[in-house]
Amino acid sequence: MSGAELSLVIPVYNGSETIVAVVEEVRSALAGLSHEIVLVNDGSSDASEAVCNRLAARYPETVTFVQLSRNFGEHAAVLAGLRRTRGRYVATLDDDGQNPPDQIPLLLDYARAHDLDVVYGRYREKRHSRLRNWGSWFTNAVATVVLKKPPELYLSSFRVMSRFLVKAVTRYRGPYPYLDGLILQATQRIGQIEVEHRQRQGGRSGYNLRRLVRLWSNMFLGFSIAPLRLATLGGMAVSLLSFVLLVAIVVDKLFFSPNVTVGIPTVLVCLTFFAGVQLWVLGMVGEYVGRVFLQLHGKPQAVVRYERLVGGNKPVRRPRRHAC
Q: Look at residue 163 in the predicted model and tell me its pLDDT.
A: 95
Q: Look at residue 319 in the predicted model and tell me its pLDDT.
A: 47
Q: Does residue 143 form part of some domain? A: yes
Do 203 and 96 contact (CB within 8 A), yes or no?
Answer: yes
195 with 256, same domain: the answer is no
119 with 248, same domain: the answer is no
Over residues 93-120, mean pLDDT: 95
Do 41 and 65 contact (CB within 8 A), yes or no?
Answer: yes
56 with 201, same domain: the answer is yes
Q: Look at residue 142 in the predicted model and tell me its pLDDT.
A: 78
Amino acid code (one letter) for 314: K
Over residues 44-63, mean pLDDT: 95
139 with 114, same domain: the answer is yes
Q: Does residue 216 form part of some domain? A: yes
Q: Does residue 268 form part of some domain? A: yes
81 with 54, same domain: the answer is yes
Q: Does residue 315 form part of some domain? A: no
Q: Does residue 14 form part of some domain? A: yes
107 with 246, same domain: the answer is no
Please write the tens of the pLDDT for every residue from 83-101.
999 999 999 999 999 999 9
Provide the mean pLDDT of the chain. 83
Q: Does residue 1 form part of some domain? A: no
Q: Does residue 321 form part of some domain? A: no
264 with 201, same domain: the answer is no
Distances (CA, A) of 70 to 61, 208, 276: 27, 18, 37
| Residue 232 clears pLDDT 50, i.e. is over it | yes
Range(s) of the domain holding residue 56: 6-224+299-308
Q: Does residue 219 form part of some domain? A: yes
Q: 293-301, long-range: CB within 8 Å, 24+ apart, which pairs? A: 294/175, 295/174, 295/175, 298/322, 299/175, 300/175, 300/324, 301/72, 301/76, 301/79, 301/80, 301/172, 301/173, 301/174, 301/175, 301/177
Number of domains present in the structure of the chain: 2
Q: Look at residue 230 in the predicted model and tell me its pLDDT.
A: 75
